[in-house]
Structure 1
Amino acid sequence: MSGTIRTEDGRGRLGSVLSGLVVAVGCVLFLGGFAWGAVLYQPYTVPSDSMTPTLQVGSRVLAQRIDGDEVRRGDIVVFNDPLWSDMPMVKRVVGIGGDTIACCGAGGRITINGEPIEEPYLLPGYPASGQKFSATVPEDSLFLLGDERHNSLDSRVHLQEAGQGSVPRSAVTARVDAIAWPLDGVLERPAPFAELPGGVSRPGPVTPLFYAIVGGCVLVLAGAAYGPLARRTTARSRKDTVGV
């Protein structure tokens, strides 16, 4: 009988050590994911409906802190430009330095350097712009449009200003990677822009960070639950052994 109890105690100690390790790893993943996410990302509330249907007014998004040099066509960016507003704004990049942006081409689409571009994020059946325009983007600048082209104060409104409505790359503070609320998930990079020189930007690390946080939470709960379950099992086993 005593030999049986010593074996169970040994297993209990090993189980306690392992559960402690599981909890420790879970805490590292959970807290580390949150800390790293806070360094890389900033939350942002969409203030208007100019980016519908992609971003609804009031949506909470996660925007990765980046340098303006990292921006590619198709990115949705958060930027500050005093000529546009005294508050941060969010728009989509459709042109970069050297591009000539015009509307409308075949099928009511915008053209980039004369090539019509399909924009899958726009409402179907609507032209890419209700007004005709043409602009050449200065170097180190970005031409920005809202996805709701009929209700967006974007580069088209500022065409008469220096730079033909473009915004300096240095004005960009972050790139929107995911919609946190409502839970719509990670934003895909528009495939048509991938075929243009320079391609599209790589997805940010929001997905691995999410899995690290969720995985850490699961490990912490599993490790914490092991102790009570193990003690209950050991107590029941001892009771059965003594009874025998």
Structure 2
Amino acid sequence: MDTEEHVSERDRSSTPEAGEGEGARSVRFLDAPWRRPALLGLVCASFLLLFSTFVLQPFLIPSGSMEPTLNIGDRVLVNKVAYRFGSEPQRGDVIVFDGTGSFTQEEPAGNPVTGLVRWVAAAVGLAEPAETDYIKRVVGVGGDRVVCCDKRGRVEVNGRPVDEKYLHPGDAPSQVPFDIVVPQGTLWVMGDHRSHSRDSRDHLGEPGGGMVPVDMVIGRADWIGWPVGRWSPLDRSDAFTHVRAPGPVGAHG
């Protein structure tokens, strides 16, 4: 009948010809004009994250605790290989470290998805770092005796006064007196804006005594990378060049 012939013709016309179907759709997908830019973007993003995770990471300065050296909103470039081949942090270095167990006793819990997004954004310097990450200046290394303050109000390291020219104008080296010996494998760290910095001084009475384990150091801040007008290296301060090596633990002479 005519009706049956029309149905058959319509059915045959709607049947995929040889070479079409799932395979053809896959070919069309692979040939899509946006495929190469998307793959290139994915590769670049993956490389950037790997580079940031293991080599050099932008770090957004979230507070004024390191002023005038670092301002709020600065992006510093943190060298993550600086201490990986036998070198250790030195007095005067500006370091980024994980304060879990020293400055923060427990890592704050949070939404894992939100945490992942924040980690990715922080890894490229677009968001503030994790709540447990800090940036401070190394004032004492393992074995050092650090005292505040001498008769002129200066911090002393191993009996030698330190002329801390990097301090925020008008700040005293410390309003909190202390006399500590830094255990081996740890660091005593302080902010340059002493009156606005929560640092080793604020954790003296807590487990760890305010000391930061060397193995919790993420890296050394070597450059200010942003804003463009502040591009400059963060050289190690020469304030500690005259400080002598520490004597035997307990020798405070």
* TM-score where L is the length of structure 2: 0.60
Please tell me whether the aligned partners of residues 73 and 95 of structure 1 are also in contact (alpha carbons under 8 angstroms).
yes
Secondary structure in structure 2 of the residue aligned to 1:70: coil
Q: Secondary structure at the match of 2:137?
A: strand
**Cα deviation, residue 107, structure 1:** 2.3
Counterpart AA for 2:237? P
Counterpart of 1:74?
92
Structure 1 position 64 matched with structure 2 position 109: no
Q: CA deviation at 1:100?
A: 1.0
**AA partner of residue 61 (structure 1):** V
The residue aligned with 1:114 is 159
Residue in structure 1 matching 2:133, options 88, 92, 100: 88
Say which is worse superposed, 148-157 or 76-85, in terms of deviation. 76-85
Which amino acid in 2 is paired with 1:192?
A: A
Q: Which structure is higher in RCO with an 8 Å CA cutoff and minimum separation 6? A: 1
Matched, 1:155 2:173: no
Task: Report Cα offsets for 1:222-242 as digits up to 9, x if no partner.
Answer: xxxxxxxxxxxxxxxxxxxxx
- Matched residues in 2 for 1:125 and 1:153: separation? 18
Q: 2-side partners of 1:193 and 1:52: how far apart?
A: 19
SS at match of 1:93: strand
Answer yes or no: is 1:193 the counterpart of 2:231.
no
Which stretch shows the higher mean deviation, 138-147 or 123-132? 123-132
2:160 and 2:243 in contact (8 A); partners too? no
Decide which of 43, 59, 62 is 1:44's aligned counterpart. Answer: 59
Secondary structure at 1:192 match in 2: helix
Larger deviation: 47-56 or 65-74?
65-74
Q: How many pairs are equivalent?
A: 166
Report the equivalent of 1:22. none
Contact 2:98 2:134 in 1 (8 A): yes
Amino acid at match of 2:238: A
Alpha-carbon distance in structure 2 between the residues aligned to 1:57 and 1:103: 27
Which residue of 2 is the match for residue 145 of structure 1? 190
Which residue of the partner structure matches residue 4 of structure 2?
A: none
Relative to structure 1, the CA distance from residue 130 to residue 177 in structure 2 (aligned partners, 3 Å threshold; closer, same or farther) is same
TM-score normalised to structure 1 length: 0.62
Cα distance in 2 between the residues matched to 1:152 and 1:77: 15
**Structure 2 Cα separation of the partners of residues 133 and 70 of structure 1:** 24
Match in the other structure for 2:214? 169
Q: Read off the aligned partner of 1:79 and give its amino acid letter.
A: F
Shift of 1:64: 0.2
Superposition RMSD in Å: 2.3
Asked whether 1:182 is paired with 2:227, we answer yes
With 66-75 and 102-111 compared, the bigger mean Cα shift is at 66-75
Partner of 1:178, secondary structure, is: strand
Q: Which runs of 5+ in 1 are unaligned?
A: 1-30, 199-244
The one-letter amino acid paired with 2:241 is: A
Contact residue 146 and residue 179 of structure 2 kept, 8 A: yes
- Compared CA separation, residues 96 and 82, structure 1 to 2 (3 A): same
Greater displacement, 171-180 / 189-198: 189-198
Report the counterpart of residue 238 of structure 1 in structure 2. none
d(CA) in 1 for partners of 2:196, 2:153 = 17
